[in-house]
């Protein structure tokens, strides 16, 4: 990346205003045109949202987007969309024992609604607040029940099975964290109480140890900050076996959306950790050791993103994609979503930018101002590109908000327009949602409003 050190948050104000105007149009367009009988919208095909049966992990982004739109604009029509659809549709996601994605679906809906109430952005109704709290408590417990024990602790297993640790679960781990923070008691056989904080911290540690590479020790052959999408374990003896990938090119290359999940997840969990008291953390190694491994993972992944992304901050879908070499010196020029060889993934940029900004703020507040400024400016550089053409969707008939998102390149699921050789021009529910999330984050900073975190529901 070529970091623009002159950018200030206020420099993006006009782009944010345009972004939210387009965002509202897209939400209304989906409400008007999408056939709900098809299931959850996942990604666009020729500009129209379509579904793709794999797991139901995107519906919370659809309704969460409307809630964020209200948060940013005060337009209550969007609040009512988010509130009513959460009530009508989201209950099955609370008890879904087959997926690891509880933080995506339920924190984006129930979590955002409770946050708005606790922040005073919507009127407080204790029965409604209790409803949202109960949903979050149970969602986190169900997520924690997908548990695999390994020699160094354990992890929340992916939908692939008990052997499988996905790097993206580090961001979805918010559900488990909120359940614990809201005081939930998770019980197993014989009424044994299962500590949700312990499971959350063990999952974070497993992700830091096995999903992120540091170029030393076991990883001496590898690069600082590279990530693997999937880490595979022998469930009989709890030993790590190998890195793997479902949506990236291989276990030995970096799927950039997985990298971005780690960047964002570790940075925001560091922020949450700062709200906990020392006594609560002491049984699990103490604040120092926990902060150390989380900060190392956050820093390494953000460094890798900066070093292995084109100048404008938009990455290609995998840093080891097989035809990148045919693009020539692609890292020293802006990304080209219309090239003939490998697609970019704007959704990775939307997710990763938030990680960069949060890590920058965290380090600055810890007194490490030079490093903090580097990550903060990198995040602004990404957003300066992302919130403009050719990534911002200005076509009034296109249902997507952020263009050039990629879902599953190895499976060939993404739409390749006529005349193109690679997928481009399409959007995804997660890309659009996370663009809105980081836009809200930045807008609140510009307006000096309360700092936006996923845990504002329980702060104070």
Residue 196 lies inside a defined structural domain of this protein: yes
Q: What percent of the chain has pLDDT over 70?
A: 99
Structural domain including 275 reads 9-446
Residue 458 lies inside a defined structural domain of this protein: no
Structure tokens at 299: 């820093």
Does the pLDDT at position 334 exceed 50? yes
Terminal Cα-to-Cα distance of the chain (whole angstroms): 38
Does the pLDDT at position 460 exceed 70? no
Residue 351 lies inside a defined structural domain of this protein: yes
Number of domain units in the chain: 1
What value, to the nearest 5°, has the Cα angle with vertex 368 and ends 176 and 449? 60
- pLDDT at residue 39 in the model: 85
Q: Tens of pLDDT along 93-110?
A: 999 998 889 999 999 999
Residue 451 lies inside a defined structural domain of this protein: no
- pLDDT at residue 54 in the model: 64
CATH of the domain at 257: 1.50.10.10
- pLDDT at residue 56 in the model: 77
Residue 453 lies inside a defined structural domain of this protein: no
Residue 2 lies inside a defined structural domain of this protein: no
Peptide bond into 390 cis (omega under 30): yes
Read off the pLDDT of each residue in 374-379 and give the average, rounded to a whole number.
Answer: 98
Per DSSP, the residues of 133-193 read HHHHHHHHHHHHHSEEEETTEEEE--TT-TTEEETTHHHHTHHHHHHHHTT--EE-GGG-E
Q: Tens of pLDDT along 116-167?
A: 999 999 999 999 999 999 999 999 999 999 999 999 999 999 999 999 999 9
Q: Tens of pLDDT along 181-208?
A: 999 999 999 999 999 999 999 999 999 9
The answer for residues whose C-beta is within 8 angstroms of residue 255's C-beta and 6 or more apart is 227, 229, 245, 247, 248, 249, 317, 318
Residue 455 lies inside a defined structural domain of this protein: no
Read off the pLDDT of each residue in 403-411 and give the average, rounded to a whole number.
Answer: 96
């Amino acid at each position: 990346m070529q970091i623009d050190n002159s950018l200030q948050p206020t420099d993006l104000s006009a782009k944010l205003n345009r972004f939210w105007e387009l965002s509202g149009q897209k939400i209304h367009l989906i409400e008007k045109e999408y056939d709900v009988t098809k299931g959850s919208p996942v990604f666009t095909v020729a500009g129209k949202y379509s579904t793709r049966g794999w797991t139901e992990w995107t519906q919370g982004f659809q309704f969460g987007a409307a809630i964020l739109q209200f948060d940013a604009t005060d337009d209550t029509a969007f609040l009512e969309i988010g509130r009513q659809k959460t009530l009508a549709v989201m209950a099955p996601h609370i008890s879904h024992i087959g997926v690891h994605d509880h933080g995506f679906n339920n924190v984006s809906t129930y979590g955002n609604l409770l946050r708005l109430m606790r922040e005073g952005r919507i009127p407080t109704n204790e029965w409604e607040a209790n409803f949202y709290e109960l949903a979050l408590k149970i969602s986190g417990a169900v997520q924690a029940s997908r548990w695999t024990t390994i020699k160094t602790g354990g992890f929340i297993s992916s939908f692939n099975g008990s052997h499988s640790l996905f790097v993206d679960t580090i961001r979805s781990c918010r559900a488990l964290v909120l359940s614990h923070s809201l005081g939930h008691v998770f019980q197993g056989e014989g009424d044994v109480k299962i500590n949700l904080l312990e499971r959350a911290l063990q999952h974070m540690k497993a992700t830091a140890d096995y999903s992120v590479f540091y170029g030393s020790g076991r990883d001496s052959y590898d690069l600082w900050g590279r990530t693997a999408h999937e880490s595979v374990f022998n469930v009989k003896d709890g030993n790590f076996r190998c890195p793997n990938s479902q949506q990236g090119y291989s276990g030995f290359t970096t799927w950039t959306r997985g990298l971005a999940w780690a960047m964002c997840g570790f940075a925001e969990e560091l922020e949450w950790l700062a709200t906990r008291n020392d006594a609560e953390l002491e049984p699990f190694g103490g604040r120092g050791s926990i902060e150390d491994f989380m900060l190392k993972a956050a820093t390494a992944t953000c460094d890798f993103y900066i070093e292995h992304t084109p100048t404008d901050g938009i990455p290609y879908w995998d840093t080891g994609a097989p035809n990148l070499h045919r693009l020539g010196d692609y890292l020293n020029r802006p990304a080209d979503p219309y090239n003939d060889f490998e697609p970019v993934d704007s959704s990775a940029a939307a997710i990763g930018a938030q990680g960069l900004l949060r890590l920058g703020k965290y380090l600055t507040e810890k007194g490490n101002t030079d490093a903090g400024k580097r990550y903060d400016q990198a995040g602004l550089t990404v957003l300066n590109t992302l919130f403009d053409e050719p990534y911002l969707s200005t076509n009034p008939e296109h249902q997507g908000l952020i263009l050039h998102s990629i879902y599953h390149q190895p499976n060939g699921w993404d739409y390749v327009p006529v005349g193109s050789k690679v997928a481009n021009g399409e959007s995804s529910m997660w890309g659009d949602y996370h663009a809105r999330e980081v836009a809200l984050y930045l807008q609140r900073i510009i307006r000096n409003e309360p700092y936006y975190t996923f845990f504002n529901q329980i702060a104070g």
